[in-house]
Amino acid sequence: MGRALLIALIGAAAFAVLPALLPSYYLGLVTKMMIFALFAMSLDLMVGYAGLASLGHAAFFGLGAYTVGLLIVRAHVSEWIAFPAGVLAATAGGALFAALALRARGSYLLMITLALAQVVWGIAFGWRTLTGGDDGLPGIPRPVYFISLAGETAFFYFVLLFTGISALLLAAIVRSPFGRALRGIRESETRMQALGFNVWRHQFTAFVIAAGFAGLAGCLYVYHNRFVSPDFLHVVVSAEALIMVILGGVGTLLGPAIGAALIIFLEDFISSQTQRWLLILGIIYVATTLYAPRGIIGLYKEYTARKKQR
């Protein structure tokens, strides 16, 4: 435990000095990485710990984002209300979706979550007068919470604060008895039921918590981009989050965060180098599935295990 704390402290210190070292564009890119790291970690709670595969996680990301965007652009509400309201809306959306979707398992759950998310996407896309349709909602200013977050550095610390705290909370959740119960359910629902655990209630709670953190990531992303568009809700974003989780290592929390950072970086870097970047990204995904099915963290663990054997 002491070692983990030390690593966390060193990590936090390393992040804290980044603004002094990086030019503004790369600082913005790291900010985006942190937001998606939070998003991927929230999905990992569902997929990796509760064993609930979802293809609709972008719905909560987008619900948070649209709530903030609509409240600020259409209702001119203070950012002190809009931001928590965004997280709340995503959490409420999570509760509703969980109530509807948790009757199914496996690929059926994938389909239901996908369908529900498409409904939300359809509303954002179709309700032109409210949501701006596929043009989205531009013109959302960066907020002022005691200090203005308009600058990249200030906003970086803002996101670092939220992502850091969320990461610690998520880590605490998966280590808690609740988190252990979730893993038990993932391995065998019937056995946990026989042991007296309320399986449905555990899964429901995990689903809602994951939705809340995804909503938080969505709220941060609105401020980062200063606009919302239906793309935030699109199934491609849900799928991308799943890839981040799988690439990093399912059920490790740290893995999905690394996976998110890596994918954001690769997309940005490779697409600037060549127009054939989609092909290269595809090859990387295929290679990961073939040679590192347990993700980057899995690869690292295998490596250390082999070293110990010697």
Nearest residue (CB) to another protein, 199 versus 235:
235
> Shortest distance, CB of residue 28 to another protein, whole angstroms?
5
Cβ-based nearer residue to another protein, 35 or 246: 35
What's the length of the chain? 310
- Is residue 19 near another protein by the rule CB under 8 A? no
CB closer to another protein out of 266 and 299: 266
In the complex, least distance from residue 289 CB atom to another protein, rounded to whole angstroms: 22
Closest contact distance (angstroms) between CB of 212 and another protein is 22
Question: Helix, strand or coil for residue 228?
Answer: strand
Q: Is 278 near another protein (CB under 8 A)?
A: yes
**Site size with another protein, rule: CB under 8 A:** 34
Question: What are the C-alpha distances in Å from 229 to residues 66, 72, 91, 175?
Answer: 8, 15, 20, 36
Cα separation, 105 vs 113, in Å, equals 11
Q: In whole angstroms, how close is the CB of 226 to another protein at the nearest point?
A: 6
Considering only residues 22-41, where is the footprint of another protein by CB under 8 A?
23-26, 28-29, 32
CB closer to another protein out of 77 and 271: 271
Neighbours of 181 (CB within 10 A): 20
The answer to whether residue 178 forms part of the interface with another protein (CB under 8 A) is: no
Question: 214 or 297: whose CB is closer to another protein?
Answer: 214
Q: Least distance (Å) from another protein to the CB of residue 234?
A: 9
Q: Return the SS3 of 210.
A: helix
Asked if 259 contacts 295 with a C-beta cutoff of 8 angstroms, the reply is yes
Q: Between 38 and 52, whose beta carbon lies closer to another protein? A: 38
Plot region of 31 (φ>0 → left; ψ -120 to 50 → alpha; else → beta): alpha
204 binds another protein (CB under 8 A): no
62 counts as binding another protein under rule CB under 8 A: no
CA distances from residue 13 to 171, 293, 296 in whole angstroms, order as listed: 19, 32, 24
- Mark 189-224 as b/e (b = at least 16 C-beta within 10 Å): beebeeeebebeebbbbbbbbbbbbbbbbbbbbbbb
CA distance 68 to 227: 10
CB of 244 to another protein, least distance (A): 15
50 or 216: whose CB is closer to another protein?
216
DSSP line for 70-129: HHHHTS---HHHHHHHHHHHHHHHHHHHHHHHTT--HHHHHHHHHHHHHHHHHHHHH-HH
Q: Among 19, 84, 133, 151, indicate the residue that binds another protein (CB under 8 A).
A: 133
Site residues for another protein, 218-277, by CB under 8 A, read 221, 225-227, 229, 231-232, 267-268, 271-272, 274-277
Cα–Cα distance measured from residue 12 to residue 65, given in angstroms and rounded to the nearest whole number: 26
Task: Examine residue 11 and tell whether it contacts another protein (CB under 8 A).
Answer: no
List residues near another protein by CB under 8 A. Answer: 23-26, 28-29, 32, 125-126, 128-129, 132-136, 138-139, 221, 225-227, 229, 231-232, 267-268, 271-272, 274-278
